[in-house]
Structure 1
């Protein structure tokens, strides 16, 4: 057990007035951040989850505020029992180990669970207070997009951004800031939706912002666990559009074809950001396994760009320059992939 885990163990023992030996911590699955999670069983058998989030790296104040505000709004959030924000320790309700992505075993099952997740997203957008959240503004969108040329192109592949990049970058930012603004979870994905008592629960919400209506929609649909067909994407987005019109999240005269393009452009922004983040995790944080996920999000990026004819030049560059360079780098590192350098 490392020093922080030992400090966490002493802290939780004090919270419950227990001998240190009665506070045995079991590490549970972590994530791409600096946070660590542990499970503790209290003497009566009640399980709790302990979050260790070093305050120099994680925004613990935001985590606590969002958990409280969204739970008060009627959303399925874990209860917070104790916290030491200066140390970065939080005692949470244990939601178990059943995550939505475990249920995506067949096409039919995946469709049903994604529909349930979209219903939860609608509740978040209608109920979650957003006025106190940071704005997903032009500066933040730009910083996220710049992760792609900075980490993926310059540092991993050592190739320049294409001439079409500045125009695409500005178009994606304009698309995001002109959409209706709502509470955005910012990592609304099958990995961050827990299943307990046949209900979906929200986790990993500390980076929530006030931002574009379509962001969490495509965060789910163009996430880590599924590559949907064009027909399925249109059906999901069309249903979301219809419901958003009905409850006022979108104006009554909103055109579904226009919204599909807005959503796909938002998905392109997110895919570019994710590609950059995964390269940063591999190169800066010594987590090379994230390079194995690049082809999946590259597929999302290509599908999104294919729905945006105005950016065909960038898609051509992806096929003729980026994919060959990525193939060479993955091959050099011995990472298996199914990419073809001659992709068209």
Structure 2
């Protein structure tokens, strides 16, 4: 990745005139990240180019999280007009790679990530928009807008939304009394901060946070689109969350509803990333996401949605169905 043209002047003005700018990561959005290195110190440069991206929600949520004692990156400098933000560097120990390299640590690290959510959910939500009916339905519609045409399917999109509307209705009031929902809380956005032993977990990629139901981020973590979470570990971590947070009798139903809702959205997003944005690597995740989705759809609360899927998307058009149309 080539750094943005304004990066050198921005860093000089921020007191980093001699910094090396090294590629670090990109993601599914227009945001890019670079590591900024000078002798004895380093930071991360976020490139969130307008008009596609706006770093202000990131800064707002980061301030909320750090104010509550959680580890979001500190902001070292920002030029909002250029979409450049210099933030604290949490190092290279990302949860995904750590647990893949040391499977014996998996359960312990996931337990820490679940405890962080339980601690966050003891606080009222940040001053954020709510996860409303309109937002839930807009997200699930991504499946019929992007995946179904890509799979060569003509489906009943109106009946699809009606089925979801009926199933999700019990959740529609939760935004008003909700918690901060980070929305992409999974193993590639959680850092094990170097030098902290079994201590702090660093949080990343929360600029799209909303106020909503506490089950949502658990779904993000335990039905991870990018890595397999064994069903036994998922069950163990849900029990761990229940013991920590006592979320109520309807929590398991909400978890299934939001699992299905999130996974349907991701199926649509990954199809869009391929068809619109030229990123075919996301197709490799679809079999995993479809497996989560089908498991969630087996819950009785999702019966109307499951019936729609059975009537509109045959088994051979699920899972890995799009791979044949992608370039090698």
Task: Tell me the TM-score normalised to structure 2 length.
Answer: 0.88
Query: Of 152, 157, 160, which residue of structure 1 is paired with 2:155?
Result: 160
* 1:83 aligns to 2:78 (yes or no): yes
Query: Of 227, 242, 252, which residue of structure 2 is paired with 1:260?
Result: 252
After the TM superposition, which residues 1-344 of structure 1 pair with which residues of structure 2 at under 5 Å, given as runs? 2=2, 5-16=4-15, 18=17, 22-42=18-38, 44-105=39-100, 108-127=104-123, 130-161=125-156, 165-179=160-174, 181-196=178-193, 197-198=196-197, 199-223=200-224, 224-229=226-231, 231-245=232-246, 250=247, 254-255=248-249, 258-308=250-300, 310-311=302-303, 314=306, 317-318=309-310, 321-326=313-318, 327-333=320-326
String of CA shifts for 1:86-142, please: whole Å, max 9, x gaps.
110001111111110112236643222111100111122224x52411111111111
More helix by share: 1
- State how many pairs are aligned: 319
SS in 1 for 2:6: helix
Superposition RMSD on alpha carbons, in Å?
A: 2.5
Q: Distance in 2 between matches of 1:97 and 1:260?
A: 34
Query: Which stretch shows the higher mean deviation, 178-187 or 76-85?
Result: 178-187
String of CA shifts for 1:154-194, please: whole Å, max 9, x gaps.
34433314786244311343243244511100111011001
Q: Distance in 1 between matches of 2:317 and 2:109?
A: 36
* 8 Å Cα contact 2:54-2:83 kept in structure 1: no
Q: Distance in 2 between matches of 1:54 and 1:162?
A: 34
* 8 Å Cα contact 1:75-1:123 kept in structure 2: no
* 8 Å Cα contact 1:172-1:266 kept in structure 2: no
- Structure of higher RCO (CA pairs closer than 8 Å, 6+ residues apart): 2
Structure 2 unaligned blocks of 5 or more? none
Distance 1:17 1:304, change over 3 A: closer
* 8 Å Cα contact 1:145-1:273 kept in structure 2: yes
